[in-house]
């Protein structure tokens, strides 16, 4: 089994475990990826949170393409663990991405975040990166606003 297939299987198992304890809350996000060669990209995502004091988060997202920088759009599936302190949170986890290029080299990535939770709305700064494990490591940094349903 290839490394990518093994990673897909591992993330699928972890996401399934997190979703098994999921609460009836869906968070829809929208935001913008950082300026890259003077061109921003739209970021859209949907997330589910488990019912724990420090929940698991399963996120499916899309980072738009950048024409001038010739960076293609990327889809990602991530599993993260959130840790709260009052209304603030940090999270870290693993992700699979659909592309392998200069920005997101390798299909295996890490997703980290810091944010503020206002109840049904939260704002977070996130970074999707391979942590220098596979080739070039620019990564994507993006600001997201989430609304819970």
The predicted-structure confidence for 21-74, as pLDDT tens digits, reads as follows: 545 588 999 999 987 777 899 999 999 988 878 899 999 999 998 877 778 899
Does the predicted TM-score (pTM) go above 0.75? yes
Question: What H or E segment, with its residue span, contains residue 116?
Answer: strand 108-117
Most confident option among 4-18, 82-96, 97-111: 82-96
Please check the confidence at residue 9 and state whether its pLDDT lies above 60.
no
pLDDT confidence of residue 88: 97
Please give the torsion angle defined by the CA atoms of residues 144, 78, 98 and 38, in that order, rounded to the nearest 10 degrees.
Answer: 20
- Which backbone phi and psi does 9 adopt, to 5 degrees? -60, -45
89 and 52 in contact (C-beta within 8 Å)? Answer: no
Between strands 121-129 and 74-85, the pairing is unpaired
Q: What percent of the chain has a predicted confidence (pLDDT) above 70?
A: 83
> Which CATH code, of 2.40.33.20, 2.40.160.20, 3.40.50.1000, 3.40.50.300, is assigned to 3-148?
2.40.160.20
Q: What percent of the chain has a predicted confidence (pLDDT) above 90?
A: 52
pLDDT confidence of residue 14: 59
Give residue 102's region: left, alpha or beta (phi > 0; psi -120 to 50): alpha
Quote the distance between the C-alpha of residue 67 and its chain's center. 22
Is pLDDT larger for residue 139 or for residue 21?
Answer: 139
């Amino acid at each position: 089994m290839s490394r990518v297939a093994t990673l897909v299987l591992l993330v699928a198992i972890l996401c399934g475990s997190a979703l098994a304890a999921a609460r009836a809350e869906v968070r829809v996000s929208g935001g913008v990826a950082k300026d890259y060669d003077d061109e921003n990209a739209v970021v859209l995502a949907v997330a589910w949170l488990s019912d724990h004091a420090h929940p698991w988060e399963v996120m499916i997202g899309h980072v738009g393409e950048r024409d001038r920088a010739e960076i293609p759009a990327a889809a990602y599936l991530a599993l993260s663990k959130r840790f709260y302190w009052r209304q603030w949170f940090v999270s870290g986890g693993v992700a699979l991405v659909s592309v392998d290029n200069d920005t997101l080299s390798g299909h295996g990535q890490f997703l980290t975040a810091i944010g503020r939770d206002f109840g049904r709305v939260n704002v977070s700064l996130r970074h999707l990166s391979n942590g220098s494990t596979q080739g070039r490591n620019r990564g994507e940094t993006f600001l997201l606003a989430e609304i819970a349903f």
